[in-house]
Chains A and B, each alone.
Chain A
């Protein structure tokens, strides 16, 4: 038995769109809304049922041409059954199929899945530029859409606008307002990468930046390691009578015991002023010599390279991070400005059925239809 199917990633390939058709005979023509399914496949254009393929071949080809997506193939399930008694041909499904294909190819397919039941379409795609031509049975189609409580948006050809207004005027129970010249903002805030993404993209943009990034990581790692290992490397002796100590001394007791182990007399070692050498601002080296029981020590002014490296690495770590943050913030401002310039004034006429919470939108071409849907989704 067929039952509930667990959702998978493939589910987003199955786009559902509602088409309005007219069924019945000349005496009892009624509009009917049924679901069309568009599936992006990897083989060839197909239509279910196959007998409808010839009727829809040119429509699919026009839609695909208008999108410049010749290499993408689609399976269209018209949802038709053997006993469906349609009055009109399938060409008026063109706009519906086009929206399904648009949703399959665009990043709004995820959003479309949540709202598809609120939309229905009718319109013929008349050429490969995506022009939308008039349809037959507009009255029956709009009537069925206005009676369906789930539908909020109806999209129909501009060429049928007057016919539809005339029909609504005759209906006493429908109040409407005419809306026109609606400006649509087509900015996509979701398209701009996040702050940290921009930092990552910049820091890995080319080979030099990769090297700079690796050095940055090494610098971060070097400073704490240098501190942790400091005490281990502070003693280095040429022989038992000569010892070099790097400053500052963190653990003076260890240094004392090392000196005693090397044969330095205890009373002399106790006289070494370790308290002065543990200050962190003391840099350089102490050169300690055991001359037959007499300890001499001398502070050598030359800088310890490891300390210099610590300062360099610390400075580089901070500078690199600050520069990246400033550049990322600056880039964000650039993207925002770019988005502001991307505002498109797209005009379309629509009728808002005030007491039915519905909008009938009139369109001339597929590009306009796609932009309108996109603006309603965001």
Chain B
């Protein structure tokens, strides 16, 4: 189960870090931390965006992470694949 309160705090931190701009590392760390929370950070590469995520939270996570990956791009194909899977699930949640 996702801890929604934790996700909200991570998201707020990411928005704050993006608005502050510098240092870039802050933005990067916040984004990856949220990304890993939403995905399964273990060995399993599947993403676990769950149905208990609200629509509002889902679209805000989607917007922030999409904005991050648009600028910083992906570390490798694994990260790209995980993001594609996560974004698909987030979109399903807020579009339902």
Please list the residues of chain A having a beta carbon within 8 angstroms of any beta carbon in chain B: 1-5, 8, 10-11, 13-14, 16, 35, 37, 39, 41, 43, 46, 48-51, 75, 77, 82
What separation, in Å, do the CA atoms of A49 and B84 have in the docked complex?
12
State whether the Cβ of B93 lies closer than 8 Å to any Cβ in chain A: yes
B-side contacts of A82, CB under 8 Å: 84
A-side contacts of B59, CB under 8 Å: 14, 37, 39, 48, 75, 77
Identify the interface centre among B48, B70, B94: most chain A CB within 10 Å of its CB. Answer: B94
Contact B95 A2 (CB under 8 A): no
Contact A1 B93 (CB under 8 A): no
B: interface residue count bin: 20 to 34
Contact A2 B70 (CB under 8 A): no
Contact A49 B95 (CB under 8 A): no
A-side contacts of B56, CB under 8 Å: 10, 13
Main secondary structure of the interface of B (DSSP, over half): helix
A77 with B54, Cβ < 8 A, contacts A5-B96, A46-B63, A51-B70 known: no
Please list the residues of chain B having a beta carbon within 8 angstroms of any beta carbon in chain A: 15, 48-51, 53-56, 59-60, 62-63, 66-67, 70, 84, 89-96
Identify the interface centre among B49, B60, B84: most chain A CB within 10 Å of its CB. Answer: B60
B-side contacts of A16, CB under 8 Å: 95
Contact of B94 among A37, A43, A51 (CB under 8 A): A37
B-side contacts of A1, CB under 8 Å: 48, 50-51, 89
What separation, in Å, do the CA atoms of A50 and B51 have in the docked complex?
24
What separation, in Å, do the CA atoms of A293 and B77 have in the docked complex?
117
Identify the interface centre among B53, B55, B84: most chain A CB within 10 Å of its CB. Answer: B55
What separation, in Å, do the CA atoms of A1 and B90 have in the docked complex?
10
B-side contacts of A11, CB under 8 Å: 55
What separation, in Å, do the CA atoms of A13 and B95 have in the docked complex?
11
Minimum-distance CB pairs A-B, first 3: A3-B51, A50-B70, A2-B89
* Chain A min CB distance to B84 (Å): 8
Contact B63 A8 (CB under 8 A): no
What separation, in Å, do the CA atoms of A1 and B51 have in the docked complex?
7
What separation, in Å, do the CA atoms of A295 and B51 have in the docked complex?
90
What separation, in Å, do the CA atoms of A4 and B96 have in the docked complex?
7
A50 with B66, Cβ < 8 A, contacts A2-B50, A2-B93 known: yes
Contact A8 B51 (CB under 8 A): no
Contact A10 B63 (CB under 8 A): no
